[in-house]
Amino acid sequence: QVQLVESGGGLVQAGGSLRLSCAVSGISTSIKTIGWYRQAPGKQRELVAAIGPGGSTNYADSVKDRFTISRDILKNMVDLQMNSLKPEDTAVYYCNVKVGWNYYWGQGTQVTVSS
């Protein structure tokens, strides 16, 4: 069974950094695209960053040059390093994988950036 567990969220001041981790079980991160999404109150869930099986990455324009997604295949984890955080980055962050017709999500981790 595929499971994803996020960790690393918290409260940080604007300009600060956080590192989120997504522990994946039931599927190898080396063969699937893993995405980090976020959802702010009253807003739709949006893609923040994703990493493909070959290591290719893509980012939302709003986080380019500030966030970095990376993968540890041995640990089967995908991290999101977030630098220069802004209040508008405040959201619940989720990791995601699509397997066949199914989308799997973690429980989410709250990131709050104070101004």
pLDDT value of residue 89: 98
Q: What's the CA gap between 70 and 6, in Å, rounded? A: 14
Phi, psi of 89 (to 5 degrees): -80, -5
pLDDT digit string, tens, across residues 49-85: 999 999 999 999 999 999 999 999 999 999 999 999 9
